[in-house]
Amino acid sequence: MERLKSDLESLGKIGKDPKGGVSRPALSEPDIEARLYVIEKMKEAKLKVYVDQGGNIIGLREGKVKEPFITTGSHIDTVLNGGMFDGALGVLGGLEAIRELNEDRVQTKLPIALVVFTDEEGNAFMPFAGSKYFAGLIDKSTLHAVEGKYEKISFGNALERFLKRSNAGVIERFSSTILSHLELHVEQGPILEVERKQIGVVTGIVGVHRIWMNFNGKQAHAGTTPMNMRSDPMISASATVTKVREIVLGRGKDLVGTVGYFQVSPNVVNVIAGSVRIGIDIRSLSRNDMLEVGKEVIDYARNVSEKEGVRLNYETYIENPAMCDETIVKTIEESVIQLGYQYMKMPSRAVHDSQVMSEITKIGMIFVPSKGGISHAPDEWTDFEDAYKGVEVLKLTLLKLAGS
Ligand SMILES: [Zn+2]
C-alpha cells in the first residue's frame, strides 16, 4: 500500500493548482510531466511502453501467448481544480497490480496491457479523445486536426510536443485483439460510503438522454398585460422542471433526472418572458426507461404549453448505456469474496473510458468509496487503505481473466 500511496501523492503534485486541487488538461505541460512520470514507472516495472497516435500510453506485459490481451487502465488528465484520485487510481493501481504480479513471479497465459487514455475529461480537446481513437471510433487525421480548448494548439501539434520528450516507442495504433477491459476507479458519488461497502462491482455505465426544450411565448409588459391575456413560457417551462422530478421519482429504479439548464429571455423583472430554454438530463442503465421518461416529459410539456398558448419545440440526444459483461462482473465478485471485503453491485452514473472500450471488447469496472461522494473538486478523497483494496481486487481479477 505504501508504494501506491507514494505514487498517488507524487502524481498528485504534478499540476498542483495554486487555486486548489490538480489542473492537468490533456497534453498540457503538467499532463506531459505526469505522462513522463508514468512512462518511467512503467519501464521500472519492466513493461514495454508505446504511445499511439491518439496519445494513449500503452505498457505491455508479456503472457505465455501473444494475444488476446487483457487491458486495464484509465486516465491521468484532470478537470481544472480536480482531484488526485479520479483516473489516476486506475492507472497507478493497474501499475501496482502488475508490479505485484512481477514480484510474485507470475506469468499469465494472456498478455496484459496497461493503458493511459488521453483527454478523458475532454477539457483540452474532446471527451474520450484517446479511448475513441483506441477503439477505432475516430481516425488519425480527424483527431489530429481538433483545435485545443485549453490552449490554442491542434491535437496533432500537442501530441508532437509530448512525443519529442517521451522515450516510449511510437505506434500508429494498438492492433492486437482484446479479450476484456478492466477499469479501477473512485466512485465519485456517495453510495459506497453511505452503504458502508468497500468495493462497488459495477454492473454497467448509465446512458444519457438529453432533451433541449424551447418554450416560445409572447414577450409583454408585466404591468399592463392582464393575467388572462398572456402566453408566458416561464409557466410551462417551470411546470416541466418540477414534472421531471415527479416522473423520475414515480418510476424508481436506477433513474435520475435533472434540469440543470434554464435560460430566460430577456430575463428582466418587469417583462413577461418571450422565450425559455431548458436542458433536461435523464440517466439510466435502461435505454428504454430513459426513452419512456423522455416521452412522458415531452407530452407533459406539450400539454402545459398548449394551455398557456406557448409554442414548444425540442431536440433530443441519446448516448446508450454500456453494460458490463456478466462473466467479468461475476469474476470481480468472486475476487472480492475471496479477499473478504464488503461489496455491492451498482451502476456507474458517471461516464468513463470503459464505456468507449465496450464498443470493442467486454468490460468490467471496480469502484472504491469517495469521501462524501465528492469528485471533480480539490476535496476529492479516498483513503489509501480503501484505494489499495481496489488494487487487490483488480490484481486478483486480472489473474483470473488472464489465466495461467
Ligand atoms: Zn475519471
Ligand 1 centroid to Cα of residue 236, in Å, is: 37
Residue 195 is part of a domain; what is its CATH number?
A: 3.40.630.10
Ligand 1 centroid to Cα of residue 275, in Å, is: 37
Same domain, 187 and 257: no
What pLDDT, on the 0 to 100 scale, is given for residue 254? Answer: 83
Q: How would you class 280 by CB atoms within 10 Å of its CB: exposed for 0-12, middle for 13-18, buried for 19 or more?
A: buried
Same domain, 95 and 243: no
Q: For each of the chain's 404 residues, which pLDDT tens digit applies?
A: 899 999 999 999 999 999 999 999 999 999 999 999 999 999 999 999 999 999 999 999 999 999 999 999 999 999 999 999 999 999 999 999 999 999 999 999 999 999 999 999 999 999 999 999 999 999 999 999 999 999 999 999 999 999 999 999 999 999 999 999 999 999 999 999 999 999 999 999 999 999 999 999 999 999 999 999 999 999 999 999 999 999 999 998 789 999 999 999 999 999 999 999 999 999 999 999 999 999 999 999 999 999 999 999 999 999 889 999 999 999 999 999 999 999 999 999 998 999 999 999 999 999 999 999 999 999 999 999 999 999 999 999 999 999 99
Domain edge (last residue) among 319, 339, 356:
319
Helix pair angle (233-251, 287-308), 10° resolution:
150
Domain edge (last residue) among 277, 297, 319:
319
Same domain, 42 and 140: yes
Ligand 1 centroid to Cα of residue 352, in Å, is: 6
C-beta of residue 256 within 8 angstroms of C-beta of residue 349: yes
Residue 231 is part of a domain; what is its CATH number?
A: 3.30.70.360
As a whole number of angstroms, the distance between CA 247 and CA 265 comes to 27
Ligand 1 centroid to Cα of residue 357, in Å, is: 14
Ligand 1 centroid to Cα of residue 94, in Å, is: 14
Ligand 1 centroid to Cα of residue 85, in Å, is: 8
As a whole number of angstroms, the distance between CA 170 and CA 163 comes to 8
The CA-to-CA distance between both ends of the chain, in Å, stands at 25
Same domain, 50 and 195: yes
Same domain, 221 and 81: no
Cell of 147: 483545435
CA 151-155-158 angle, 5° bins = 65
As a whole number of angstroms, the distance between CA 172 and CA 263 comes to 44
What pLDDT, on the 0 to 100 scale, is given for residue 252? Answer: 82
Ligand 1 centroid to Cα of residue 86, in Å, is: 5
Same domain, 43 and 167: yes
Same domain, 314 and 216: yes
Nearest to 365, CA basis, from 356, 373, 374: 356
Ligand 1 centroid to Cα of residue 192, in Å, is: 17
Same domain, 184 and 131: yes
Same domain, 42 and 142: yes
Same domain, 276 and 201: no
Mark 281-295 as b/e (b = at least 16 C-beta within 10 Å): ebbbbbeebbbbbbe
Ligand 1 centroid to Cα of residue 124, in Å, is: 15
Q: How many CB atoms lie within 10 A of CB 299?
A: 10
Ligand 1 centroid to Cα of residue 186, in Å, is: 8
Taking the CA of residue 63 as centre, how many other CA atoms within 13 Å lie in the half-sphere pointing to its CB? 19
Ligand 1 centroid to Cα of residue 75, in Å, is: 6
Alpha-carbon distance values, 76 to 89, 193, 247, 298 (Å): 9, 24, 38, 39
Domain edge (last residue) among 267, 298, 319:
319
What pLDDT, on the 0 to 100 scale, is given for residue 319? Answer: 84
Ligand 1 centroid to Cα of residue 303, in Å, is: 40
Ligand 1 centroid to Cα of residue 233, in Å, is: 38
Ligand 1 centroid to Cα of residue 120, in Å, is: 7
Same domain, 313 and 327: no
What pLDDT, on the 0 to 100 scale, is given for residue 308? Answer: 97
Kindly calculate the radius of gyration of the chain based on its CA atoms and give it in whole angstroms.
Answer: 24
- What is the total count of domains within the chain? 2
Same domain, 27 and 130: yes
Query: The domain containing residue 307 runs over which residues?
Result: 207-319
Ligand 1 centroid to Cα of residue 196, in Å, is: 22
Ligand 1 centroid to Cα of residue 74, in Å, is: 7
C-beta of residue 115 within 8 angstroms of C-beta of residue 56: yes
What pLDDT, on the 0 to 100 scale, is given for residue 253? Answer: 77
Nearest to 376, CA basis, from 97, 24, 102, 125: 24
Ligand 1 centroid to Cα of residue 185, in Å, is: 7
C-beta of residue 158 within 8 angstroms of C-beta of residue 170: no
Ligand 1 centroid to Cα of residue 128, in Å, is: 10
What pLDDT, on the 0 to 100 scale, is given for residue 25? Answer: 96
Q: Which residues contact 35 (CB under 8 A, 6 or more apart)?
A: 57, 76, 116, 162, 166
What pLDDT, on the 0 to 100 scale, is given for residue 285? Answer: 93
Ligand 1 centroid to Cα of residue 375, in Å, is: 9
Ligand 1 centroid to Cα of residue 83, in Å, is: 10
As a whole number of angstroms, the distance between CA 206 and CA 198 comes to 21
Ligand 1 centroid to Cα of residue 350, in Å, is: 8
As a whole number of angstroms, the distance between CA 256 and CA 247 comes to 10
Bridge partner list, 214 = 277, 313
